[in-house]
Structure formats: C-alpha cells, structure tokens
C-alpha cells in the first residue's frame, strides 16, 4: 500500500501543478493538454506516454485496493469478538476514516475519468477542448460538489497515508517523526488547495 500510494502521490503532485495552467487561459491550458500527448516523441508515438502512465497508475490503483481489502479482511478476522464497551479513539479523524475515504476516492476516479478523460458524463464533453469542458463542468453546482467532497477525502487520505507510508517503509524514526508529519500536512494541504482552486475559480467566475 505504501509503495503504490507514494507512486500515485507523485502523480497527483504533477497533475495538480498541471491543472494550475488553467489560470493562464484556454490557449495555454489546451496547449498543455496537447503537449502531454507528445511527451517522448519521436521515440514514442503520439499519446503513448499517456497510455504508459495510465497502465502504471491503474496497476498501482488495483494493487493498492487489493492490499486494502486483504488488510481489512485480515483485521476483521483478527478480532472475531467485538468489545462490548465503547472504546475511546485516540487516533485522528483522518486515520479512522481511511477506508471510507478510499472508497470515496475510488468512486471519484471512475467519475473523473468518465467526466474529463472520456467526456461521457461531461456537460460539453468535446475532445481536444479540456479548458471548455472544465468550465462547463463546474458551472453545474452538483458536479462542483462532487469534486469538493472527493478532494477533502483525498486531503485526509494523504495526511494519514504519507506518514503511514513512512512508517511502513521503515523510513520513519523518533527523530524524523515530526518532519514526516509536517511534510504530510503540507502535501495534503497544497494538493487539496491546488486541485480545489480550479472548481472554485470557475464557480466564482474567475475562470470562464
């Protein structure tokens, strides 16, 4: 879970940074989207790089979800008899909601691909015009809401997930603990604010 999580986190950072191109206008943003398909040319053909990335990410996602299911299955079986008394939780909200947040994010990924990659559920859904598709999306209030909810779930997921990966991979120790928690907080906030800036900008009319 840690390894695949870190790979997907790296992708999210790049994805978020790329999204900010929208603030430079339709020409820049659509040009950037086109450029993504030309990465690796002439060694790779048009949009081959994107397909390689999609395969890697899908592999990570499947491995991540399968590990999560195996872990949950194992954890449930490790305590067949529940406690009768209510246990006071000391762990953070983010830690306790990893599984639910993960489900929300997984459903969102399906929606997001149908919306802005395939264009099937997009109000405009015109290939080659991502800027216009994005703007059409967030002019519908409930689509904006889907994105906001998913990004908040992602924020909590990264906050616990990054530090947790440091624990799992053995990179953490007593001296580095505060540093890893701080980086986790910064990463979670930067990625969430970065992603949310796009729908918020469209909804407030900053990007149209």
Which residues of this chain interact with another protein, rule CB under 8 A? Answer: 71, 74-75, 77-91, 95-96, 98, 160, 163-164, 166-174, 177
Of 4 and 30, the one with the shorter C-beta distance to another protein is: 4
Largest CA distance in the chain: 65
Of 27 and 85, the one with the shorter C-beta distance to another protein is: 85
CA atoms within 13 A on the CB side of 6: 10
- Least CB distance from residue 83 to another protein, whole Å? 6
- Least CB distance from residue 179 to another protein, whole Å? 13
CA atoms within 13 A on the CB side of 196: 16
- The Cα–Cα gap between 80 and 67 comes to 21
CA nearest neighbour of 61 among 143, 190, 157, 156:
157
Which position has the token pair 């979670």?
188
- The Cα–Cα gap between 156 and 188 comes to 7
- Least CB distance from residue 164 to another protein, whole Å? 4
- Least CB distance from residue 77 to another protein, whole Å? 6
Of 117 and 177, the one with the shorter C-beta distance to another protein is: 177
Question: Are the C-beta atoms of residues 144 and 198 closer than 8 Å to each other?
Answer: no
Of 158 and 166, the one with the shorter C-beta distance to another protein is: 166
Of 27 and 81, the one with the shorter C-beta distance to another protein is: 81
Of 21 and 157, the one with the shorter C-beta distance to another protein is: 157
Helix axes 177-203, 2-19, angle to 10 degrees: 40
- Least CB distance from residue 154 to another protein, whole Å? 18
- Least CB distance from residue 91 to another protein, whole Å? 4
Helix axes 48-78, 26-38, angle to 10 degrees: 80
DSSP SS3 for 127: coil
């Amino acid at each position: 879970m840690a390894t695949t999580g870190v790979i997907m986190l790296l992708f999210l950072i790049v994805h978020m940074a790329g999204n900010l191109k929208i603030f430079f206008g339709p020409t820049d943003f659509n040009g950037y989207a086109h450029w993504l398909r030309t990465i690796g040319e002439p060694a790779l053909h048009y949009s081959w790089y994107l397909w390689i990335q999609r395969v890697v990410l899908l592999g990570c996602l499947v491995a991540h979800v399968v590990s999560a299911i195996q872990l949950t299955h194992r954890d449930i079986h490790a305590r067949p008899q529940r406690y009768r008394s209510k246990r006071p939780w000391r762990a953070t909200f983010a830690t306790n909601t990893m599984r639910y947040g993960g489900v929300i994010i997984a459903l969102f990924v399906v929606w997001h691909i149908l919306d802005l990659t395939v264009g099937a559920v997009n109000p405009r859904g015109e290939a080659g015009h991502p800027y216009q598709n994005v703007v059409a999306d967030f002019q519908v209030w409930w689509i904006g809401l889907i994105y906001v909810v998913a990004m908040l779930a992602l924020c909590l997921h990264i906050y616990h997930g990054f530090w947790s990966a440091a624990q799992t991979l053995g990179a953490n120790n007593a001296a580095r603990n505060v540093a890893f928690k701080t980086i986790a907080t910064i990463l979670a906030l930067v990625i969430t604010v970065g992603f949310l800036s796009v729908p918020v900008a469209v909804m407030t009319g900053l990007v149209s």
